[in-house]
Amino acid sequence: MIDVQSQLDERKIPIQKVGVKGVRYPITLLDKTEKLQHTTAVVNLYADLPHHFKGTHMSRFIEVFEEFRHDVSMPNVLRMLRKIRAELEADTAYADMHFPYFVKKSAPVTGQVSVMSYDCVYEASCSTKGHRFVAGVTVPVQTVCPCSKAISDGGAHNQRGLVTLRVSLGPFFWFEDLIRIVEESGSSEIFTLLKREDEKFVTERAYAHPRFVEDVVREVYQKVDALGIFPWFSVEAENFESIHNHSAYAYVEKSDRAALPAVTGQDLDQAKPVEL
């Protein structure tokens, strides 16, 4: 049959990303305690398109992903991207995958077991110049406001927050270990199942460990930085405030600021708008 996608395109415009987006697909991951975990991911797969091709072969993204979905370990994602590049004659291939990761947790007093869900993401690219891989996990925590506690005769406002930790691929690591770092950095961790004894413990522990969003990101930063295994990482915290109609937010990352060009006030003053 005629291969329309491989026909010559005379406009000479290369496309940076073309592919499939929003593919919902079952995958298998490594699990620290259960060995393997089956979950469902929303997957985006792209590659660049040389200027002389009319189109890409969309089916090949799915064919390659089907081959690798039974082992979506981090090194295997990069192997998958290398194969996509070869199949599509592309310089660069990209993937981002969003999926829930499930961890069994025991309540702090009764030991009742339940399952917590954490939103995770892979973002990867592979080219002739090398590869990039970032893994992220979003962890819910409880925070008690230090200011509210300090100025109130009784009680303090508290809220649930989300902390997102993203790390670049270094040595092998477990999502469970990153989750634990974040959960230990809030006022209290969060559970799916709590009995009254557990609820008392969690409430009192949170009150005894008040945290601003600034405290949370700094606590996570210190713990991750002390590991010394990630060349880059970022920490983002958002508290869904219980006494305000807005969120409190903080972000910090480890990166080489010296490599970034400085922008001075004079530079901004001299900048001119571009006419289109």
pLDDT tens for residues 96-147?
Answer: 999 999 999 999 999 999 999 999 999 999 998 899 999 999 999 999 999 9
Q: Flag whether 178 is in a domain.
A: yes
CA 202/CA 208 separation, integer angstroms: 10
Tokens at 16, concatenated:
């940076």
Q: Flag whether 268 is in a domain.
A: no
Q: Flag whether 4 is in a domain.
A: no
pLDDT value for 145? 95
| Residues 24-36 pLDDT 10s | 999 999 999 999 9
CA distances to 1, 139, 216 from 220, in Å: 56, 12, 6
Q: Which long-range contacts (CB under 8 A, 24 or more apart) does 224-231 make?
A: 224/165, 224/167, 224/178, 224/181, 224/254, 225/254, 229/170, 229/171, 229/173, 230/167, 230/168, 230/170, 230/254, 231/168, 231/170
Phi/psi of residue 274, nearest 5 degrees:
-95, 130
CA neighbor of 130 nearest in space, from 178, 168, 162, 174 = 168
Greatest CA separation for the chain: 79
Per the structure, the count of domains in the chain is 1
Q: Flag whether 1 is in a domain.
A: no
206 HSE (CA, 13 A, CB side):
25
Q: Domain limits at 121?
A: 15-256
pLDDT value for 4? 44
> Would you say residue 89 has pLDDT above 80?
yes
Q: Flag whether 269 is in a domain.
A: no
CATH number, domain of 231, equals 3.10.270.10
| Residues 197-224 pLDDT 10s | 999 999 999 999 999 999 999 999 999 9
For the chain, give the percent of residues with pLDDT over 90: 78
| Residues 60-79 pLDDT 10s | 999 999 999 999 998 899 99
Q: Flag whether 224 is in a domain.
A: yes
Q: Flag whether 10 is in a domain.
A: no
pLDDT band at 265 (very low <50, low <70, confident <90, very high): very low
> Would you say residue 52 has pLDDT above 80?
no
| Residues 160-171 pLDDT 10s | 999 999 999 878
CA 71/CA 37 separation, integer angstroms: 10
CA distances to 23, 118, 164, 215 from 103, in Å: 24, 8, 17, 25
Q: Mean pLDDT over residues 143-159, rounded?
A: 95
CA 225/CA 247 separation, integer angstroms: 26
Q: Flag whether 225 is in a domain.
A: yes
Q: Which long-range contacts (CB under 8 A, 24 or more apart) does 266-274 make?
A: none
pLDDT value for 264? 46
For the chain, give the percent of residues with pLDDT over 70: 87
